[in-house]
């Protein structure tokens, strides 16, 4: 008997192991932030541990009305921190001005969309601790040269330090999924000076900002991997007016670390054909 009826349409598989839940919540570093958003709390197995931590200012974002009702009954007085809303439409930049962390057992069917929302709000989201399908986690932490290294790998690794912390078997969920899960931690990279020391400042001022056109950077990465078997000089040809013999352009996208995509973007920005710097 489930406390909340799992809905296949929402990709709900409720974690039932308290030891794993505790381990997931302990993965939050609480370094430089106190605001935490739990995405899709479901039956509240993570929520219970998060509420026990007095240093956390918690907000729950849950799309399922049945789960919302259950959470309000399970945690009396929690009405003010529960928002019945789709996280993909959640207005983070209107709700927060200081750094925030995101935690949750992400529904498998929208996990990639959640990561892109994190990237859109990278100026706010300092840390993410989440459980996703193991294959998705492996793709995010994949190194250059790997077959699974792709758009999400580059974009997330460019702005976050990515760690696969541990795997979780199907049997600890209600109902059990058909796949193994894994827990990730993403930690926002911080601005550093020429000697590698962190710059002084507070809050958002510490977040690293690449020295390139960021909209163009996203476009370059997506264009490159949309034709991942081609050399970069071919997949990025629509952006370029000159094609010099530089090493980066003679490689395929999976060969370039995130930092080299920044360098490539700066080069393209300087050498682009007029009017080409725009998003599709």
What integer best gives the mean pLDDT of the chain?
Answer: 89
> Does 198 reside within a domain?
no
Residue 130, SS3?
strand
> Does 205 reside within a domain?
no
Looking up tokens 């009702």 gives: 69
- pLDDT(145) > 60: yes
The b/e string for 60-80 (b: 16+ C-beta within 10 A; e otherwise) is bbbbbebbbebbeeebeebee
Q: What is the CATH number of the domain that holds 232?
A: 1.10.8.100
**What's residue 179's pLDDT?**
95
* 125 and 220 co-located in one domain: no
Q: How many domains does the chain have?
A: 2
The residue among 153, 188, 223 that closes a domain is: 188
What percent of the chain clears pLDDT 70, i.e. is strictly above it?
88
Domain coverage including residue 267: 214-271
* 225 and 148 co-located in one domain: no
Q: What is the CATH number of the domain that holds 50?
A: 3.40.50.150
> Does 277 reside within a domain?
no
- pLDDT(196) > 60: no
- Taking residue 152's Cβ as centre, other Cβ atoms within 10 Å add up to 21
* 30 and 105 co-located in one domain: yes
Cβ-defined contacts of 45-54 (< 8 Å, 24+): 45/14, 45/15, 45/16, 45/18, 45/21, 46/15, 46/21, 46/103, 46/104, 46/105, 47/71, 47/75, 48/21, 48/75, 49/21, 49/22, 49/25, 50/25, 50/103, 51/75, 51/78, 53/25
* 147 and 16 co-located in one domain: yes
> Does 196 reside within a domain?
no
Q: pLDDT band at residue 206, thresholds of 50, 70 and 90?
A: low
* 116 and 240 co-located in one domain: no
pLDDT tens readout for residues 64-77: 999 999 999 999 99
> Does 238 reside within a domain?
yes
Q: pLDDT band at residue 241, thresholds of 50, 70 and 90?
A: low
Average pLDDT over residues 15-29: 97
Average pLDDT over residues 88-116: 95
Q: pLDDT band at residue 223, thresholds of 50, 70 and 90?
A: very high
> Does 83 reside within a domain?
yes
- pLDDT(132) > 90: yes
Average pLDDT over residues 85-96: 96
* 61 and 144 co-located in one domain: yes
């Amino acid at each position: 008997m489930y406390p909340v009826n799992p809905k296949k349409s929402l990709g709900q598989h409720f974690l039932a192991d308290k030891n794993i839940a505790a381990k997931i919540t302990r993965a939050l570093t609480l370094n430089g932030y106190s605001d935490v958003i739990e995405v899709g709390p479901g039956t509240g197995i993570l929520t219970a541990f998060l509420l026990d931590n007095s240093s956390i200012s918690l907000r729950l974002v849950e799309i399922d009305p049945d789960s919302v009702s259950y959470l309000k009954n399970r945690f009396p007085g929690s009405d003010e921190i529960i928002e019945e809303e789709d996280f993909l439409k959640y207005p983070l930049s209107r709700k927060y001005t200081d750094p925030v962390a995101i935690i949750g057992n992400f529904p498998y069917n929208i996990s990639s969309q959640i990561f892109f929302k994190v990237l859109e709000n990278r100026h706010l989201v300092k840390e993410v601790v989440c459980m996703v399908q193991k294959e998705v986690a492996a793709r995010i932490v994949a190194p250059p040269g790997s077959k699974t290294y792709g758009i999400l790998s580059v974009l997330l690794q460019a702005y976050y330090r990515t760690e696969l912390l541990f795997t979780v078997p199907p049997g600890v969920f209600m109902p059990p999924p058909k796949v193994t899960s894994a827990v990730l931690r993403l930690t926002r990279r911080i601005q550093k000076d020429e000697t590698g020391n962190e710059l002084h400042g507070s809050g958002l001022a510490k977040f690293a900002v690449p020295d390139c056109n960021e909209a163009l950077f996203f476009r370059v990465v997506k264009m490159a991997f949309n034709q991942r078997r081609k050399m970069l000089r071919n997949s990025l040809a629509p952006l370029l007016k000159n094609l010099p013999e530089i090493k980066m352009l003679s490689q395929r996208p999976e060969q370039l670390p995130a930092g080299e995509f920044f360098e490539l973007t700066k080069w393209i920005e300087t050498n682009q054909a007029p009017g080409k710097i725009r998003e599709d």
